[in-house]
Structure 1
Amino acid sequence: MNAPLRRLSMVVALLFSALLVSSTFIQFVQAKSLQERPENRRTLLANYARERGQILVGGTPVAKSVASDDELKWLRTYPKGELYAHLTGYYSFTYGAGGGIEGAENALLSGSSDKLFYRRVSDILTGKDQTGASLELTINAKAQAAAEKALGDQRGAVVALDPSTGEVLALVSHPSYDPSVLSSHDTDAVVKAWKDLNADPTRPMVDRAIAGNLYPPGSTFKIVTSAAALESGKFTEESQIPGPATLDLPQTSDPLPNDDRQPCGPDNKVTLKRALEISCNTAFGWLGMELGADDFRSQAAKFGIGDRLTIPMTVTPSSVPAELNEPQLAQSAIGQYDVRVTPLQVAMISAAVANRGIVMKPHLVKKVTSSDLEVLDEPPPEQLSQAVTPDTASALTRMMQGVVEDGTGTAAQIDGVDVAGKTGTAQHEIGKPPHAWFTGFAPAVDSKVAVAVVVEDGGNAGNEAAGGRVAAPIAKAVMQAVLGK
């Protein structure tokens, strides 16, 4: 064989070898992942051939499949569509499973999860129709409805947690959407609905509670700064600290002012407790610089800032800038500059204070059951970290009670219940009203609920917005629902 033919045969042999390796890799190595992709048409057809598991709240389905008379056999329905949209997500033959529990736990709901292997074998041997697993959520139906009603037509989000377990009791994001428009078997209608939802500038499919463009937390972050101060051992809640009308910052000619341009106490001094109650910017700006960037960032991290969480939906990590000069640190200490958080993260901060300093992993799934109600999985509570000592948590609780009793958060008061909280008004874009925040927990001792509320651009109050005026009443309604008040 001459040299050109020999080289050609080698090229052909290499091509056949590459084809063999590629096809083997796809058929054996990638087969499972490709098959499990929710948009895989063959997988969807197989999944539609069996009943999909339900998503339940308090035993009532908020997502279920009903028999249909077309080739797909089952139609996914959402009895309380918009109320639970960001919790359920959608299940569409055109666009697959996405968002919420539908996307995050698709394998369990469809019945294809490895966790259900023995159940599938048993069903085959007994001739029983195969079905997906059902998931009971941790959501408190009354709290969810209260959050939805109180937030109303305003854009924003509400999250409520059980401080001792991390159970998510309420999760609402506005605006919302109806997942049923995507689960329809009318392909043209589904495609139109999908385009309309994605073209909507208010982004109704974005879960503002855990994802999307994160928010500056404003003065709610003063809880973290207070925690860092108390944990340092250099300050107590009664420590006198500077609280002038404006705070001169190094390296810049722009001072940090208080909202009312007034000093926070006599002789420009204020206790740490009172500084939190009245949300004194200059005191906390000074405190941030006094503590230093390393201690400030370390304390934020102990509360979960920067953690990558799944609940089981993926939560966008909150963040504090890695590099901070002194002016930036002063701004960050009052929840401004480039500090960014999810409402879930802010609720976790309050929940940690309520839980003697322990941060519990937030989770949405209470239990997984089979079609005959056998419990297949019941995830236990999981501790993430110890954010502060019990003594520091007690001091923070007293300080946050002062905010609600005699500070900026009086609109969160509940008759007969001690409430702890913190307001926030977060500047975010020149020319736009600030975001309004409130976070807190109740009762102050042996807490049953921790909550965070953000209302974008001040909601209906616009430029007149403040966390105590706009967000605190929403938080109050949710806490009352959980406590039966």
Structure 2
Amino acid sequence: MQDFKDLHKQHRRRATAGNAFRDQAQESEPQKTRRLRIILPLVALLLASYPIISIFGSTRSKTSPPAAKPAAVQPIKLNNLDNWSAFRLAADAYPNISNQNGTFSAPLPQGGKVVYAINEPMQRRVEKLMNDYKVPYGLFVAIEPKTGRVLATVAHSSIQPGWEKGAFYNTYPMASLFKIVTATAALEEKKVGPDTPFAFNGKLTSESPKRWHVRPGRGNQQMPLSLAMGKSVNPVFGRLAGEVVGRDPLIFYADRYGFNQSIFPGSPVVPSAAPAPPPGSVDQLMLMGAGLNHEVKISPFHAASIMATVANRGVMMAPSLAKEIVDQKGTVVFAQKPQPLRTVTTPETAASLARMLSTTVQSGTSRKAFHDRRGRPMLASLRVAAKTGSIDGKDPAGHYSWFAAYAPMEDPQIALAALVINQNKWRIKATSVGEQALEAFFK
């Protein structure tokens, strides 16, 4: 509550202000005229100069205060490297890679260098092939199955310069490579074997599940699963997924292979994707099992790792882009060692998958690329397990041609994945890229 004395003081101040106002009101007319002669020109000058003042004021408001600078990315320290931080370091340095006497290396910003395990003949052959054929978009990754060492990485685009940067880390529609996952689920669940005869309807390349169902006593087609894998028969693997394996086991083994998760943590490899939520109808599940779901996407790195897993008796190894890393003093601060990542299948399932995949080159979708016109094998003494894939895609637009393989089957030394995206004019298939890569590697 205010004191009465304060109220009295406020009243006196208001009274004084009122007297001053009355005194102003009593000014003579000559005094008012003189004041107006001074004030009016000043007001006119201020109004005329307002646009200029507003411009300067606007400029100050746009440039002040200065924008905050983004936080600097902290460089990876060399004194405590693991496989994934070494992968990231090697990936960041990769654009500056050079070849000296067959050894590929790249300098590090903090001094020192990354040494890669790149196989020069294979790397150069694939680069030349893609360049000679003017491939619109092409990717290639090769891995040593038992160690995870990356043996080659090629990215090429004849129509979009700059697309190549990091393109082999991104994901693309997987197409029929997903049939490997479908077969794994069926084999692991003991539902079928490589020689199990399987009935189906429709063309081998049919994309309509409604045409695949078997009708008793209506002359259905039939072939063993091994041959169906080699010929990439959509109705067989669609029915296998939808009517034999089922949704939950299929999603379970997709998870085992590393879909919808970061299985290469800290590396730039984008996680592969499978539909989430999973297919809600049998027809959708069939399309997924046959490799016809466009939302199932995988990176060339992951595709090569899946083939390497089959080659390595079901054990997936962590891929390593760096063979070793040396600091500015010449001391080796990282030397790659084989690192098991996860067990995906039993050795028995891996062996059955190998039998099924071998038919791709022997009598399936890659036979022409691996045999001359007289039917003689191009790589006579080499047994190759492989899978092809083919699907249309939008990013980038074109027809996606996949080839994933490992060899030799008796003692796998290399697993690879090649992706070629052709447009209106076909340049070359991924199968031919894979065959040339194997020829260069084993010559």
Task: Give the corresponding residue for 2:381.
Answer: 416
Structure 1 residues 174, 375: CA separation in 2 closer, same or farther (over 3 Å shift)?
same
Match of 2:411 among 439, 446, 460: 446
Q: Which amino acid aligns with 2:345?
A: V
Q: Match of 2:279?
A: 324
In structure 2, what is the equivalent of residue 36 of structure 1?
A: 74
Q: Any idea what the Cα deviations from partners look like across 1:61-120, whole Å, max 9, x if unmatched?
A: 6545xxxxxxxxxxxxxxxxxxxxxxxxxxxxxxxxxxxxxxxxxxxx232xxxxxxxxx
In 2, the alpha carbon distance for the partners of 1:415 and 1:133 equals 43
1:280 aligns with 2:318: no
The counterpart of 2:436, out of the listed 448, 464, 477, is: 477
> Which residue does 1:333 correspond to in 2?
289
Determine the C-alpha separation between the residues in 2 that align with 1:474 and 1:205: 17
1:110 aligns with 2:148: no
Aligned counterpart, 1:209: 168
- Shift of the 458–160 alpha-carbon distance from structure 1 to 2, 3 Å rule, reads farther
Separation of aligned partners in 1, 2:211 and 2:121: 41
Counterpart of 1:427 in 2: which secondary structure?
strand
Q: Write out per-residue CA displacement over residues 8-30 of structure 1, whole angstroms, 9 at most, x where no aligned residue.
A: xxxxxxxxxxxxxxxxxx9xxx9
Partner amino acid, structure 1, of 2:227 = R
For residues 268-298 of structure 1, the C-alpha deviation after alignment (integer angstroms, 9 at most, x for no partner) is 2221111111111000010111211211121
Partners in 2 of 1:225 and 1:273 — Cα distance? 13
For structure 2, which runs of at least 5 residues remain unmatched after alignment? 3-67, 77-92, 213-218, 371-377
TM-score (norm 1): 0.63
Quick check: 2:104–2:117 contact (8 Å CA) kept in 1? no
Q: Which amino acid in the other structure matches residue 140 of structure 1?
A: N
**Equivalent of 2:326 in 364, 369, 375:** 369
Number of the residue aligned with 2:65: none
Do 2:104 and 2:116's aligned partners in 1 also have CA atoms closer than 8 Å? Answer: no
Tell whether 2:138 aligns with 1:156.
yes
What amino acid maps onto 2:153 in structure 1? L
List per-residue Cα deviations over 1:184-225 (Å, max 9, x = no partner).
Answer: xxxxxxxxxxxxxxxx856525422112xx321111221111
Larger radius of gyration: 2
Corresponding residue for 1:269?
Answer: 222
Using the TM superposition, give the Cα deviation of residue 426 of structure 1 relative to its aligned residue in structure 2, in angstroms. Answer: 1.3
**1:354 and 2:311 equivalent?**
yes
Distance 2:73 2:392 in 1: 46
Residue of structure 2 equivalent to 1:436: 401
SS of match in other structure, 2:320: coil
Which AA in structure 1 matches 2:192?
F
RMSD: 3.3
Contact 1:210 1:342 in 2 (8 A): yes
Identical pairs, percent? 30
- TM-score for both structures, normalised by structure 2: 0.68
CA distance in 1, matches of 2:337, 2:200: 45
Equivalent of 1:289 in 217, 239, 242: 242
Structure 1, unmatched stretches of 5+, are: 3-25, 39-51, 65-108, 112-131, 177-199, 259-265, 463-468
Number of residue pairs aligned between Structure 1 and Structure 2: 336
Out of 91, 102, 115, the position equivalent to 1:136 is 115
SS in 2 for 1:297: helix
d(CA) in 2 for partners of 1:35, 1:218: 37
Q: Mark the CA change 1:255 to 1:332 in structure 2 (over 3 Å): closer, same or farther.
A: closer
How far off is 1:358 after superposition? 0.8
Structure 1 residues 459 and 424: CA distance shift in structure 2, 3 A: farther
AA of the residue aligned to 1:471: A
Distance 1:331 1:457, change over 3 A: farther
Distance 1:57 1:330, change over 3 A: farther
Q: Does 1:302 align with 2:256?
A: yes
Counterpart residue type for residue 169 of structure 1:
L
CA separation of 1:267 and 1:310: change in aligned 2, threshold 3 A = closer
Alpha-carbon separation, structure 2, partners of 1:456 and 1:473: 13
Structure 1 SS opposite 2:404: strand
Instruction: Check conservation: 2:172, 2:299, Cα contact below 8 A.
Output: yes
Relative to structure 1, is the Cα distance of residues 201 and 257 closer, same or farther in structure 2, using a 3 angstrom cutoff?
Answer: farther
Separation in 1 of the partners of 2:73 and 2:410? 50
